[in-house]
Structure 1
Amino acid sequence: MIQTDIAILGAGPGGASTALKLSHLGLPCVLIDKADFPRDKVCGDAISGKVTTLLHRLDPAIMARFHGMSIQSDVWGMRFYAPNGKRVEVPFPIKSEAGHAPGYVSKRIDFDQFLIDEVRRRPDIQLHLNKEISSFKRQETGWRLQTADGDFTVNCRLLVVADGAHSRFSRTIAGLEKDTAHHAAALRAYYRNVGDLSERGFIELHFIHDITPGYFWIFPLPDGMANVGLGMRSDILAKKGLNLKETLRWIIEKHPTISERFKDAELIGKVHGFGLPLGSKPRPISGDHYVLVGDAGHLVDPITGEGIGNACYSGFIAAELAEKCVQENDFSAARLQAYDIRVARVLGSEMALSYRLQKLLAYPRVVNFMARVVAGNQRMMQVLSRMYADFDLRLELARPWFWIKMFFTGKR
């Protein structure tokens, strides 16, 4: 039996980030995952500047090791395709620490293994893989976690739940049930030799008429590979009666412009589906002696589908609060409410804005109008470039009057 102040369930980006932050704060922890690593994780594979900024500030040597590898492609901007086919390229001039790219695309099998290797560098993190917890028992001083065979038991005062979108603890104990209006279904496939990929490392978002407010994506990877996928909000998907896999196949094989780019492309492996619990609905993400991190806390961005950045950010917040809880010997639900409050302040406003934009992008004519405003409007292009790091500018994008003003400014 293991006795610890802090146990983390799930060793993906959220759990690994929590453990690394705790270690740098001088707090030992136990990190548990049901899988062995390296292991694949179905995802869009995009890594935002949130992740790299947090890791660099934690220890610049972590990102130095990351940049010394060849598991990532740099992201310097985005290509947006409106339903009418209009293409708008938005560069990201904002550089991260040490002048590196503001974002990356890296297969999760590689990036998650990188984080596990970083965890293994820290002697105060006990890493236990291949341990599937089947029992959660509430005790006076915290939680008891146990495998089905009873051979592995952990008693902890604080449980950090970071075991992803299908977290049993989140669903059955914390009460975060799936809500199709705040959930997305997505598919991911790996292709080689997709045509006309950006030489400047731009990722692509295609807003196709029949799947808005969802989108089709192409994210370039190293070695001529690309992460290709399609996602849509679950309730809208059901309302439209679409088969996501058939829709993805149609786009790749028959879409008037996209199919040409796939004529020489090769599908590597299978098409895999995954669910995204969106952060567009406020939910309680803590309770007596526990907090929910990342996808387990339904913290996926409602418009981009990004989960890695919010998982790492919420993990850092959980670790900083855990330090105070240990010092105060207080892991009560009342004390841990501070976690909900800070996550809402730091991430909640972003996700609320994304939800507003998601609803705006549900109308193809609106997306076409927005693309028309941006095309050839240098002032608008500068605004979009700066919005990557400026929340106040992103807030403007959800206001119709902003687009009307920019339209007339552009005409002049």
Structure 2
Amino acid sequence: MREVETIVVGGGPAGSTCARRLRQLGRDVLVLDKARFPRLKLCAGWITEKVLRDLEIGPGDYPHPMLPLDIRSHLRGLPFGLSWFPTPGKNFSIRRVEFDAWLLARSGAEVVQHDVRTVRRDGARWIVDDAFACRWLIGAGGTMCPVRRALFPNQRPKSRQIVTLEKEFAYPSREEACRLYFKRGLVGYAWVVPKGDGHVNIGLGAKAKYLRKSGTNIHDHFRAFLDDLVREGRLDAATADGLQETGHPYYLFTRDGEVRLDHCLLIGDAAGLATMDLGEGIGPAVESGLMAADEILGRGTWDKSKVTLFSLAGLAQRFMRAANRRHMPAA
């Protein structure tokens, strides 16, 4: 049986970030993932300046395309609308097939391709599939993380489930603006995100409970969104007709919900970490990975309440400060 100090189950941004920090301090860590990297990962791939700072990615470090985003937001189906609004700081898009593989390789951790099936406690050790043993176990395997399923069976309330459909493909005639669409009839939003090498990601996400209540089908919403893009001239009809969207679920960030046992921590999507407003998951995944590593290193505590709750919190704060200045009496 292979024994290490820490096993990280899942090599995505949360797991690779945790593993990298541990390796930087000379700790023994092994990453297990059922996939072989690079692997396909559909995602809008939105990252912020804060994500780059947290990951210690400086100018010129990243070897793949990282596209600055000009974000335009639309309120549709309402008696008023905004064509755009600013977001705090700079924003970028990446392709997860490239980004995740680069982060994992950069971590310096040993990676073993292994589909985790069982997890059990044996004294002071965690045993994985009777093949690996560790003192610290990190569940970073996404929404369907085997550590979460084995040890935290009641951690996922269905009322907080988000369902998404999306497609990422090469589309050289795409426009350069990133567009977010907020529509009546869909408790969520849709997006068109340009990416490097002429790719684009088109998708939408919604709260599952509202879809169930309305009796609507998310595939119908997706097809209607494609029709809208064709009418607007942002997508040609032949491409829209040929798209086969892919769906996946995840869960909104909540301050409740268990994320720890004795020497076992959940991070990233496995812990239900996604911002409440835009469902952005990369930033919270990275933050949680760093905090989990710091707890193992004895430098801090993995505290779910300290993970970023809103993607646009900085924007709201700016608006509030501006409003307060307008109402302040002249000196």
Equivalent position SS for 1:270: coil
* C-alpha contact (below 8 Å) 1:15/1:162 kept by paired residues: yes
Equivalent position SS for 2:6: strand
Structure 2 counterpart of 1:117, from 97, 105, 108: 105
* Partner amino acid, structure 1, of 2:101: Q
Equivalent position SS for 1:206: strand
Structure 1 counterpart of 2:178, from 203, 213, 235: 203
* C-alpha contact (below 8 Å) 2:88/2:315 kept by paired residues: no
Gaps of 5+ in 2: none
Q: Which residue is 1:380 aligned to?
A: none
Q: Which residue is 1:266 aligned to?
A: 239
Q: Which residue is 1:88 aligned to?
A: 83
* Partner amino acid, structure 1, of 2:67: S
State the percentage of identical aligned residues: 23
Shift in alpha-carbon separation, 1:388–1:300, aligned structure 2, 3 A: closer
| Residues 99-143 of structure 1 deviation map (CA, whole Å, 9 limit, x = unaligned) | xxx332112111111112213xx3xx22112x1111111011120
Shift in alpha-carbon separation, 1:406–1:180, aligned structure 2, 3 A: farther
Q: Which residue is 2:304 aligned to?
A: 343
Query: Matched residues in 1 for 2:231 and 2:147: separation?
Result: 41
Q: Which residue is 2:61 aligned to?
A: 65
* C-alpha contact (below 8 Å) 2:253/2:273 kept by paired residues: yes
Offset, 1:93: 7.0
* C-alpha contact (below 8 Å) 2:68/2:92 kept by paired residues: yes
Check if 1:300 corresponds to 2:300: no
Offset, 1:195: 6.6
Equivalent position SS for 1:3: strand
* C-alpha contact (below 8 Å) 1:187/1:272 kept by paired residues: yes
Check if 1:79 corresponds to 2:72: yes
Query: Matched residues in 2 for 1:391 and 1:29: separation?
Result: 40
Shift in alpha-carbon separation, 1:223–1:231, aligned structure 2, 3 A: same
Structure 1 counterpart of 2:110, from 108, 126, 129: 126
Equivalent position SS for 1:181: helix
Query: Matched residues in 2 for 1:263 and 1:91: separation?
Result: 28
Root-mean-square deviation (Å): 3.0
Query: Matched residues in 1 for 2:249 and 2:266: separation?
Result: 17
Check if 1:234 corresponds to 2:208: yes
Shift in alpha-carbon separation, 1:157–1:43, aligned structure 2, 3 A: same
Q: Which residue is 2:93 aligned to?
A: 105
* Partner amino acid, structure 2, of 1:181: S
Offset, 1:19: 0.6
Q: Which residue is 1:11 aligned to?
A: 11
Matches within 5 A, 1:203-222: 203-211=178-186, 213-222=187-196
* Partner amino acid, structure 2, of 1:324: G
Q: Which residue is 1:358 aligned to?
A: none
Equivalent position SS for 2:118: strand
Offset, 1:186: 0.4
Q: Which residue is 1:51 aligned to?
A: 51
* Partner amino acid, structure 1, of 2:71: M
Offset, 1:91: 4.0
Query: Matched residues in 2 for 1:265 and 1:221: separation?
Result: 21
* C-alpha contact (below 8 Å) 2:167/2:203 kept by paired residues: yes
Query: Matched residues in 2 for 1:191 and 1:259: separation?
Result: 19
* C-alpha contact (below 8 Å) 2:87/2:315 kept by paired residues: no
Query: Matched residues in 1 for 2:272 and 2:101: separation?
Result: 23
Query: Matched residues in 2 for 1:282 and 1:195: separation?
Result: 44
Shift in alpha-carbon separation, 1:12–1:177, aligned structure 2, 3 A: same
Query: Matched residues in 1 for 2:162 and 2:88: separation?
Result: 30
Query: Matched residues in 2 for 1:197 and 1:256: separation?
Result: 12
Shift in alpha-carbon separation, 1:306–1:323, aligned structure 2, 3 A: same
* C-alpha contact (below 8 Å) 2:139/2:270 kept by paired residues: yes
More helix by share: 1
| Residues 40-99 of structure 1 deviation map (CA, whole Å, 9 limit, x = unaligned) | 11222212233211122xx74xx6320xx3332122x421101247343334573xxxxx
Shift in alpha-carbon separation, 1:209–1:406, aligned structure 2, 3 A: farther
Query: Matched residues in 2 for 1:117 and 1:196: separation?
Result: 31
Query: Matched residues in 1 for 2:2 and 2:252: separation?
Result: 34
Query: Matched residues in 1 for 2:14 and 2:213: separation?
Result: 33
Query: Matched residues in 2 for 1:177 and 1:47: separation?
Result: 27
Equivalent position SS for 1:324: coil
Query: Matched residues in 1 for 2:163 and 2:10: separation?
Result: 22
Gaps of 5+ in 1: 95-101, 326-335, 355-386
Offset, 1:282: 1.5
Shift in alpha-carbon separation, 1:107–1:269, aligned structure 2, 3 A: farther
* C-alpha contact (below 8 Å) 1:182/1:281 kept by paired residues: no
Shift in alpha-carbon separation, 1:196–1:259, aligned structure 2, 3 A: same
* C-alpha contact (below 8 Å) 1:181/1:234 kept by paired residues: yes
* Partner amino acid, structure 2, of 1:164: G
* C-alpha contact (below 8 Å) 2:148/2:266 kept by paired residues: yes
* Partner amino acid, structure 1, of 2:148: S
Offset, 1:316: 0.4
* Partner amino acid, structure 1, of 2:117: S
Query: Matched residues in 2 for 1:406 and 1:233: separation?
Result: 36
